[in-house]
Amino acid sequence: MTSERPTTLLAELTHRCPLHCPYCSNPLDLLRADREISTDDWKRTISQARELGVLQLGLSGGEPLIRKDLEELAAHARRLGLYSTLVTSGLGLTRKRAEALKEAGLEHIQISVQDSDTTSAERIAGTSSVKQKRAAIAIVRELGFAFSINVVLHRGNLDRIGEIIDLAASLGADRLELANTQYYGWGLKNRATLMPTREQVTRAKGIAEEAMRRHKGRMQIIFVLPDYFEDRPKACYGGWGRFYIVVGPDGSALPCHGAYALPNLTLPNVRDHSIDWIWHESPAFQAFRGNAWMKEPCVSCPMQAATFAGCRCQALALTGDATNPDPVCTLSPHRHLIDEAVADNAAPLTYEYRDFVIEPQGA
């Protein structure tokens, strides 16, 4: 049991997406449309999450606009008092749908931008998309939505961070999330291609911090240093099963979007169980709560309460054991794996695009 209540439900409505970004946070084993749960399943899930204490709803994917019931789900969430964010590529956000979402009471739209340079942006997305994104952004602004731009940063665009910030300001973003690539799933597959140099990261940090001051009061800028370049791990999702519930397209419930990859973790499904049971009782949400599962040096570490030993998915992906300390930590016996990955940054910019490919098991 936990006394804490979740704050955020991330609803990954679908894995279908017109883009093929090589750092996609969806699992390698993408689910097709026939595995997606129904509108009623989602409405029940959202209601139960709200009863449990969820305040924020992320309507995400894949591309959530592919779901025809998006407006109905947004309206349902608004009636319950949730603050909802549509996390979208912008592709498919026609005026008609944007107006319907406004009518439904959706408050916040976050549109991804891949780069300030069109050629590079479309190479990253793996498809022509910039023109459609600009059109969607104009509609979002015109209808008065709260509007964020999200940019995933990596070696191929980090040198243009200044131009990217200028572009976001000129597009009228209320908020700009500059998110350095996280190396799970697709991102890990493309790590050597995405990995920035230390010089790039240092320069980008300086530019971002200066821009934060310059745009204060007009555009909020969020810049998070990539964890590979830190000495201590980040508290992934604020700690396992403490704030977040992620529900995938097929109704699987996870404490973080990377947890699909964890072995021996039986994911509860919203078609079989209530959100209350999933949060309080399911073995998956209990698995890494507290510190009973931790190893040294985490068990006796004074930072344990702030980092929760870091990310389980990263520990698994890089060390082969999800209960190991996150190898980002310089106290981890596996830190050399991070240092080696940081040094491995010379691969040509040819991405392995996200797509519906069946991965061999264990690959």
Partner 1 sequence: MSLTADSIPRLWRLARLDYDPARQRPVLLYPEGAVLLNDTGKAILELVDGCRSVADIAAILGERYGTDVSADVTEYLSRLETRELIQ
DSSP-assigned letter for residue 269: B
Query: 253 has which bridge partners?
Result: 247
Q: Which of 85, 1, 6, 11 is closest to 53 using CA atoms?
A: 6
Q: What part of residues 74-133 is at the interface with partner 1 (CB under 8 A)?
A: 81, 83, 85, 107-108, 110
Q: Which is nearer to partner 1, 244 or 288 (CB)?
A: 244
- Measure the CA–CA gap between 52 and 7, rounded to whole angstroms: 9
Q: Which is nearer to partner 1, 83 or 277 (CB)?
A: 83
Considering only 7, 118, 127, 345, the residue that binds partner 1 (CB under 8 A) is 7
Binding mask 166-195 for partner 1 (x = CB under 8 A): --------xx--------------------
Distance of CA 161 to the CA centre of its chain: 20
From 13-21, 164-172, 216-224, 284-292, give the range in contact with partner 1 by CB under 8 A: 216-224
Residue type at position 166? D
Q: Which of 239, 288, 286, 249 is closest to 269 using CA atoms?
A: 249
DSSP assignments along 103-161, one per residue: HHT--EEEEE---SSHHHHHHHHTS--HHHHHHHHHHHHHTT-EEEEEEEE-TTTGGGH
Q: Does 60 bind partner 1 (CB under 8 A)?
A: no
- Measure the CA–CA gap between 8 and 82, rounded to whole angstroms: 10
Q: Which is nearer to partner 1, 212 or 349 (CB)?
A: 212
Considering only 96, 217, 340, 358, the residue that binds partner 1 (CB under 8 A) is 217
Q: Which is nearer to partner 1, 80 or 331 (CB)?
A: 80
Q: Does 277 bind partner 1 (CB under 8 A)?
A: no
Q: What part of residues 140-169 is at the interface with partner 1 (CB under 8 A)?
A: 146, 148
Q: Which residues bind partner 1 (CB under 8 A)?
A: 5, 7-8, 50-53, 55-56, 81, 83, 85, 107-108, 110, 146, 148, 174-175, 216-217, 220
